[in-house]
Amino acid sequence: MSSSSGFIVVIAAPSGAGKTTICREIEKRRDDVVYSISATTREKRINEKDKIDYYFKTKDEFEEMIKENQFIEWAIVHGNYYGTPKNSIKGLIEENKIVIMDIDVQGARSIRKEFPDSSVLIFIMPSDIKALKERLLNRKQDNMDTIKKRLHNAKEEIEKIGEFDYIVINNDLDKAIDDVDGIINSERLKIFRNEKLIKKFKEDLKNEERIL
Ligand code: 5GP
């Protein structure tokens, strides 16, 4: 088991930039990564499953969860509620896990505020607006109005890129996944995330000196 401490990786991007696929692939590739399943009031898409893709909730249920303080953060995105349940996120971090979450820019900001030292914010960019539009149209999940709303939001989200730590361009999915994987590896190796290991090494050195 690693003795470094865990952290949260927030993946944010305009819709259609491929962030859900990236999160899921990273989760498959690494056994130290856990995907945080959000709750939402948006309608379930044909290919989605409750409790796997999202916890699908009614508006009343979601508002009840807000009242009961069950979210680390929540936001209204494209007219629907979305939120990150508290679950065991803090516990997972203490167990050295990396919690990956696919949330919007407002959510990213809340996570940074709540976990200033334990959050890494990655912004995924499509190669260009044409690619983004094509991806939204090709996935045939949303109607034209929704697509328009999502493109409009993309403009506002890109304005907030300065609040992020890293940018990953998703021209080529495999390359983007490798980039996120590389960021996670580097973050794992930061000195301040390895204090326990360093402390133990120092103590062992002291003991060794005593014996000699
Ligand atoms: P979609 O409806 O396409 O699955 O997601 C719409 C947007 O909501 C995406 O930008 C996604 O990252 C964001 N989102 C999903 N879950 C959460 C969450 O728990 N909190 C916040 N703030 N945004 C979320």
Residue 209 pLDDT more than 80? yes
pLDDT of residue 4: 60
Encoding tokens for residue 180? 């996120």
Cα of 12 to ligand 1 centre, how many Å? 9
Distance CA 81, CA 141 (A): 18
pLDDT of residue 145: 85
Cα 160–chain centre separation: 16
190 class by beta-carbon count within 10 Å (0-12 exposed, 13-18 middle, 19+ buried): middle
Q: Residue 166: which pLDDT band, with cuts at 50, 70 and 90? A: very high
Interstrand relation of 71-77 and 80-85 (parallel, antiparallel or unpaired): antiparallel
Residue 107 assigned as binding residue: no
Residue 19 assigned as binding residue: yes
Distance CA 140, CA 15 (A): 13
- The answer to whether the CB of 19 falls within 8 A of the CB of 102 is yes
User: Which superfamily, per CATH, for 7-34+96-211?
Assistant: P-loop containing nucleotide triphosphate hydrolases (3.40.50.300)
pLDDT in tens, 72-106: 999 999 899 999 999 879 889 989 999 999 999 99
Q: At residue 53, what are phi and psi to the nearest 5 degrees?
A: -85, -45
Q: Does the CB atom of residue 104 touch ligand 1 within 6 A? A: yes
pLDDT in tens, 9-66: 999 988 777 889 999 999 999 999 999 999 999 999 999 999 999 999 999 999 999 9
Q: In the chain, what percentage of residues exceed pLDDT 70?
A: 98
What element of type H or E holds 197?
helix 195-211
Interstrand relation of 39-40 and 55-56 (parallel, antiparallel or unpaired): parallel
Distance CA 207, CA 131 (A): 59
Encoding tokens for residue 102? 């696919």
70 class by beta-carbon count within 10 Å (0-12 exposed, 13-18 middle, 19+ buried): middle
For the chain, what is the total number of helices (H) and then of strands (E)?
8, 9
Cα of 50 to ligand 1 centre, how many Å? 15
- The answer to whether the CB of 126 falls within 8 A of the CB of 137 is no
Q: Does the CB atom of residue 77 touch ligand 1 within 6 A? A: yes
DSSP class of residue 43 equals P
Distance CA 6, CA 24 (A): 18
Q: Residue 2: which pLDDT band, with cuts at 50, 70 and 90? A: very low
- The answer to whether the CB of 118 falls within 8 A of the CB of 6 is yes
Ligand 1 atom closest to residue 71's alpha carbon, by position in its atom list: 19
Residue identifier of the C-alpha nearest atom 11 of ligand 1: 103
